[in-house]
Amino acid sequence: MSELSDIIKHNLDQRQTQTVLRDIARDQDFTGNDVLSAQDTLARRLRDIGIQAGDLILLSLPNSAANITVQLTAFDLDVVVQTINPNMPTAELRTTMAQHHFAAMILNEVHARALPEIEATSDLHFVHETGTLLGSDFTLAAARNQQVGNPLLDQLNATGQSPLGVLMYTSGSSGHPKAVALNHAQLLAAASEIARTQQLTTADKTLLVMPLFHINAQVITVLATLVSGGSIAIAPKFSASHFWQQVRDNQITWVSAAPAIIAILLKTKPLSAPQVPHLRFIRSASAPLLPTVQTAFERDFGIPIQQAYGMTEGASQITFNPLGATKAGSVGKSGGTAISIQDENGRQLAQGATGEICLRGDHIITAYLDPSLQDDFGNGWFRSGDVGHLDADGYLFIDGRKKELINRGGDKISPVAIENVLITHPDVRNIAVFGMPDPVYGERVAAAVIPEADAPSATDLAQSLRAYATQRLARFEVPTDIYFTDSLPAGATGKIQRRRVRDQITTQHVAAN
C-alpha cells in the first residue's frame, strides 16, 4: 500500500466507532470500522476474480458511501479507477468501455441493464454478478474477450515513483477531453495541501454535493477530509430546497461548491438567513465566480466564500484564498504550487503582466496519458491554457482560457472581464461571452444572454446592454452581437462551456435564417 492508503486507513482506524460517512439519501451512518470492513470484503472479491495491481476498473455508481469505498479499496490494491457519470447514456457508455481494457466494472442498475444492448452492438461480452456495498446495490462485471493490458497506463505505472490511482478525462471546455492519470503521491500532495490551507481538523464535517466522477469531489471533499481525519455527509446531488437543512442537521463546517450552486442558493434564499453558526465557509471552484455573486451572497448570508482555482491536471487545487484574507475577483494564492506567468515563447513575464498560467509542483502531472499530447509541457512547466496575472501579493487573477480569448484585430479580449461587467445589468440573469468570425477583424465580440423574467423586449434590452457596456468597457470590448437564450450549455460542475455556447448560437442563427 502507498502512503495515501496508509494515512486514510490509520484515520479510519482512529474512528472505528465514530461516523465517518453519512449517506443522507439512505439515512445511514457508517463508522470507520464499517468502511474498513467493507473495503476488506470488496478487496477479497476483486482478488478472487483476478484483479491485480495496475489493472483498470470502471466505476459508475452515484454519490454514495459505496462509491467512496470502491475508490479507497482500489487505492489499497494499487488498482486504477476511472469514474464516469452514472447518468451517462448507453451510446457514450459503449464508447467509454471500448477506450481501454477494464479488468472489472462496478456499475449502477441503469448501466448494468444496458449490458445486453452493448453486447448486441459490439464485440464485448460480459460475465457479471450483483452485490451490495454499504447499503448500495451494484453490478460487478468483466469483459470476457477484450485485449489484456493498457499499454499507456502500464508505461506510466512502470516509470512512476508512485502507483497510479485515478484515470480521468478533462472537461474539454476548449477542445477534446484529455486523459489524465494521477498517481497516489500526486493525490496525497493535493489532499494534504487542501487540508492545510483550509485548516481542516478531525472536528470538521463536510457536505458532499458535487459529483463524485469529478476531481473536485474526489480530492477536495473526500481525500482532503479523510487525510485530515474528518467526516463526510453525502448528498446524492445538490438540492437548493434541502441544502440548508442538510448543513444544519449534519452540523457541516465547510462545503466545496461550484459557482452555479452559490448563484442558485442566492436566488432561492429564504426570507431569513439560515441559522448555521458551525458553517465556517463555502469554497468555490471548478468555474469563475462572479464578484457580484460573491458580494451578494456574503452580504445576505454572512458566510464567507473562499474562491479557489484547480484542474484535473493538478489533482484539484492550485490556489486558494486564505481564510480571513480573501481578495475579491482573485482565485487566491498558491499553497505550494510554483506559478509562472509566461508568454507564448515560454518567457516569464513581469509581475502584473498577463500571460499563460504555467505550473509546477508535487501534484501537477508531467505528461498526459497520450504521449502525443506533449505540447502543454516544456522546461519543467505545465502550460495550463489559462490566462491570468499575479498581483504584488501573489494573488492570482484569471482572465479566461487561452483558446477562448477573442482576437479582434490583434486586441486580445478576455470574455471573463466582459461577463463580470454585463452580469451586473439588472435585466441579465446569466451571460456567456465568446468570439464570432468577422471578415474584417478576424473575430468580433458576441454575448449570449439569459434575461430576467421581467426584462424588456429583446430589441430594447440589446440596446440597453450596449449602452451599459459602452459606459464601462473599452470600445473594442463592447459586444457587437447579442443573442438571447433560455439556457447556456454547462459541464457537470456548472462551468459554462463557451465553445458549446458559440456552436449552439451559430446553429440556432443558421436555422432561423
Mean pLDDT of the chain: 90
What's the CATH code of the domain at 458? Answer: 3.30.300.30
Q: Determine the Cα–Cα distance for residues 431 and 441; give it in Å rounded to an integer.
A: 23
Q: Determine the Cα–Cα distance for residues 374 and 367; give it in Å rounded to an integer.
A: 7
Looking at the predicted structure, is the pLDDT value of residue 445 above 80?
A: yes
Looking at the domain assignment, is residue 468 inside a domain? yes
Looking at the domain assignment, is residue 177 inside a domain? no
**How does residue 311 score in pLDDT terms, banded at 50, 70 and 90?**
very high
In this prediction, residues 175-180 reach a mean pLDDT of 81
Looking at the domain assignment, is residue 141 inside a domain? no
Looking at the predicted structure, is the pLDDT value of residue 294 above 80?
A: yes
The better pLDDT of the pair 344, 279 is held by 279
Looking at the domain assignment, is residue 441 inside a domain? yes
Looking at the domain assignment, is residue 364 inside a domain? no
Looking at the domain assignment, is residue 446 inside a domain? yes
Per-residue pLDDT tens for 355-378? 999 999 999 999 998 888 888 898
Q: Model's pTM, two decimal places?
A: 0.86
Looking at the predicted structure, is the pLDDT value of residue 513 above 50?
A: no
Supply φ then ψ for residue 31, to 5 degrees.
-85, 175
Per-residue pLDDT tens for 372-427? 888 889 889 999 989 999 999 999 998 888 888 888 877 778 888 888 889 889 99
**What per-residue confidence (pLDDT) applies to 183?**
95
**What per-residue confidence (pLDDT) applies to 148?**
57
Angle at 263 between CA 262 and CA 265, to 5 degrees: 65
Q: How many domains does the chain have?
A: 1
Beta bridge partners of 84: none
Looking at the domain assignment, is residue 437 inside a domain? yes
Q: Is 235 helix (H, G, I), strand (E, B) or coil?
A: coil
Per-residue pLDDT tens for 200-259? 999 999 999 999 999 999 999 999 999 999 999 999 999 999 999 999 999 999 999 988
Looking at the predicted structure, is the pLDDT value of residue 173 above 60?
A: no
| Three cell numbers written together for 103 | 479488468
Range of the domain at 468: 405-512
